[in-house]
Amino acid sequence: MTAIRHAARTARAGQELLQASGDVIARRLEIVAEGLRDPLKADLREMSLMGSEKVEALTASAAVGLNSVAAMAATTAAVAAREAAAAQGALGAVLKSASPAEAALAQGAWMTAAMGRAVSDGWTFGATMLKLQADALAPIHAAAVANAKRLRK
């Protein structure tokens, strides 16, 4: 899935989450009020779900986030190692240069390549963050939408 699709999916899921959350909160407030009016007829099952479902959804979301962040940390370490090696190679080329002009060309070639890699890595990082956002929101969205659907009955 492209970065644009992840962003669109997240925006759509966010809108659905807001609507579903409002519906669920409104219905659950009614359930709580009904329970306060007649405690013997209180919907204890639904009241108990109010906390446990949130914990489950947030735990799933956090797991997605932690796994993604660990992968991003590994990628960042690889990029840092790659750039250190490129800088070391460029320094070697500058030091071996026969003239100042040759040294400037070597340094310029390294800088141009480094800037290209930085732009590419930046786009990749941004796309990864958009995917992380979409994936981390998914369990919370799924729980809220399922609750709204169930509570409409």
Task: Find the helix or strand (DSSP H, E) in which 127 lies.
Answer: helix 100-152
> How many Å apart are CA 84 and CA 82, to the nearest integer?
6
Could you write out the DSSP letters of every residue in 40-58? Answer: GG--HHHHHHHHHHHHHHH
Q: Could you tell me the pLDDT band of residue 3, with boundaries at 50, 70 and 90?
A: confident
pTM of the model: 0.77
Q: Taking residues 12-26, what's their average pLDDT? A: 95
Q: How far is CA 124 from CA 6, 15, 72, in A?
A: 13, 26, 10
Residue-level pLDDT at 19: 96
Q: Which residues are within 8 A (CB) of 61 and not within 5 positions of it... i.e. 6 or more apart?
A: 136, 137, 138, 139, 140
Which of 61, 86, 39, 47 is closest to 143 using CA atoms? 61
List the structure tokens of 69: 């962040």
Q: How many CB atoms lie within 10 A of CB 17?
A: 19
> How many Å apart are CA 6 and CA 138, to the nearest integer?
11
Contact 133, 12 (CB under 8 A): no
Q: What is the pLDDT of residues 98-130, one digit of tens each?
A: 999 999 999 999 999 999 999 999 999 999 999
Residue-level pLDDT at 2: 86
